[in-house]
Amino acid sequence: MDNCVFCGIAAGTIPSKKVYEDDKIVAFHDLNPQAPVHVLFVPKQHICCADKITEDNCDVVAHIFCTIPKVAAELGLTDGYRIVNNCGEHGCQTVKHLHFHLLGGTQLRGSMV
């Protein structure tokens, strides 16, 4: 999709520090990390948010969740991590292309909000 930063990163037209890529997804370091490890997992297909996951496009979400443990191990997250998805206005989603934050590398705080 035009003017979508994560579509640009997925296509390679916008630079990023990639840690994983295949034909369906890409994972790269967040520009503004909130933890020692902060990686974003993004489908290459433009899906605007978690609210638009359907039976027709959910395979890529399963693929992301199958890939996260492999990448987490490569990044040394042996003591656990957090996966976060912000959806829509109340969820404070700022980039309108579905993504999952992988956060770790330290003891994270317990609060969800």
For the bound state, the minimum distance from the C-beta of residue 103 to ligand 5GP, rounded and expressed in Å, comes to 10
Is 28 a residue that touches ligand 5GP (CB under 6 A)? yes
Binding residue (CB under 6 A) for ligand 5GP from 41, 81, 93, 104: 93
Which residue, 2 or 55, has its beta carbon nearer to ligand 5GP?
2
Pick from Zn ion, ligand 5GP, none: which does 87 bind, CB < 5 to 8 A by kind?
Answer: none
Is 48 a residue that touches ligand 5GP (CB under 6 A)? no
Residue-by-residue DSSP string for the chain? -TT-HHHHHHHTSS---EEEE-SSEEEEE-SS-SSSEEEEEEESS----GGG--TTTTHHHHHHHHHHHHHHHHTT-TT-EEEE---TTTTT--SSS--EEEEESS---S---
The CA-atom distances, in angstroms, between 9 and each of 14, 60, 106, 109 are 5, 17, 27, 30
For the bound state, the minimum distance from the C-beta of residue 20 to ligand 5GP, rounded and expressed in Å, comes to 13
For the bound state, the minimum distance from the C-beta of residue 92 to ligand 5GP, rounded and expressed in Å, comes to 6
Is 73 a residue that touches ligand 5GP (CB under 6 A)? no
Binding site for ligand 5GP (CB under 6 A): 5, 16, 28-32, 40, 86, 92-95
